[in-house]
């Protein structure tokens, strides 16, 4: 005779769903924070710890705060980070303020895309942040592809020969050709000109010259055939 005490305990079955892709846009910071708090609750039916792709649009502080917390929770699974900082900016020169976003905690990042307004006459804070982020993860990453979208006046960039990128480009070139990034397959620069119209397109010669001038500031990446250039926002 088998007593109730002898019966094996029923298996514990998790009923939580795994969120794999998350897109956060302007104005959804509060909702994103609520999602993060709910996902961390024992009663939650959803988990962000297996998140693979996070897509950010805009530069709302509340969104950045929520995204930072979610990225920390999904540090061991996140593979794709995509941030278009250009969305919903309300001033002529939107300051690039990434905090508290940090990707240094991630362990499996494969693809990183950043789109920003780029001013050839100003220090490229967005590009410096990219380099700082990559330095943080260089010992623990699977980076295969990096996409940098620069919305800028191409003729101005040509006129100054990307001089504002001189120091950044030199260190970035060395960093991305180091042994810590031996999985790297491609670094793509996408140029977008804000005032180009179908009936008045920018001459292709201008795009080609802009490409060559920037390419020459990245000789090691160029030599290894890792550079790619596009004339759009890099979204397929």
3-state helix, strand, coil in the chain (%, to 5): 35, 20, 45
Q: Does 223 fall in a domain? A: yes
Q: Does 118 fall in a domain? A: yes
* Whether the predicted pLDDT of 13 surpasses 60: no
- pTM beyond 0.85: yes
Q: Does 6 fall in a domain? A: no
Q: Does 12 fall in a domain? A: no
> 180-210, pLDDT tens digit by residue?
999 999 999 999 877 665 555 666 788 899 9
Band of residue 224 on the pLDDT scale cut at 50, 70, 90: very high
Cα 233 to Cα 60, 83, 117, 149, 210: the distances in Å are: 21, 12, 12, 6, 16
d(CA 34, CA 36): 5
SS3 of residue 171 by DSSP = helix
- The total number of structural domains that make up the chain: 1
Note the Cα 169 to chain centre separation in Å: 18
**Counting Cβ atoms within 10 Å, is residue 204 exposed (0-12), middle (13-18) or buried (19+)?**
exposed
The answer to whether 47 and 16 are in contact (CB under 8 A) is yes
Band of residue 46 on the pLDDT scale cut at 50, 70, 90: confident
User: How many of the other CB atoms lie within 10 Å of CB of 196?
Assistant: 12
Q: Does 40 fall in a domain? A: yes
Provide the token pair at 99. Answer: 């905090």
pLDDT on residue 192: 84
Provide the token pair at 207. Answer: 């795009």
Q: Does 1 fall in a domain? A: no
Q: Does 2 fall in a domain? A: no
Note the Cα 37 to chain centre separation in Å: 24
DSSP letter (8 states) at residue 45: S
User: How many of the other CB atoms lie within 10 Å of CB of 121?
Assistant: 11
The answer to whether 175 and 181 are in contact (CB under 8 A) is yes
Q: Does 4 fall in a domain? A: no
User: How many of the other CB atoms lie within 10 Å of CB of 16?
Assistant: 12
d(CA 184, CA 113): 14
Note the Cα 73 to chain centre separation in Å: 17
**Full domain range(s) for residue 78:** 18-230
> 109-166, pLDDT tens digit by residue?
999 999 999 998 889 999 999 999 999 998 888 999 999 999 988 888 999 999 999 9
């Amino acid at each position: 005779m088998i007593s109730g005490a002898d019966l094996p305990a029923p298996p514990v079955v998790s009923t939580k769903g795994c969120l794999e892709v998350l897109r956060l846009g302007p104005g959804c910071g509060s909702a994103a924070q609520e999602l993060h708090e709910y996902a961390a609750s024992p009663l939650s039916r959803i988990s962000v710890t297996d998140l693979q792709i996070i897509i950010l649009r805009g530069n709302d502080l509340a969104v950045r705060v929520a995204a930072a917390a979610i990225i920390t929770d999904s540090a061991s699974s996140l593979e794709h980070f995509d941030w278009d900082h250009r969305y919903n900016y309300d001033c002529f020169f939107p300051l690039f303020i990434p905090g508290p976003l940090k990707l240094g905690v991630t362990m499996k990042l494969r693809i990183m895309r950043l789109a920003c307004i780029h001013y050839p006459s100003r220090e490229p804070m967005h590009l410096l942040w990219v380099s700082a982020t990559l330095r943080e993860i260089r010992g623990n990453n699977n980076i295969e592809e990096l996409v940098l979208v620069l919305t800028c006046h191409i003729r101005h960039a040509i006129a100054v020969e990307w001089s504002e990128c001189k120091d950044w480009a030199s260190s970035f070139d060395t960093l991305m050709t180091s042994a810590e990034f031996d999985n790297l397959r491609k670094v793509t620069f996408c140029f977008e000109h804000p005032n180009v119209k179908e009936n008045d397109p920018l001459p292709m010669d201008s795009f080609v010259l802009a490409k060559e001038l920037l390419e020459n500031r990245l000789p090691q990446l160029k030599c290894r055939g890792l550079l790619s250039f596009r004339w759009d926002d890099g979204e397929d």
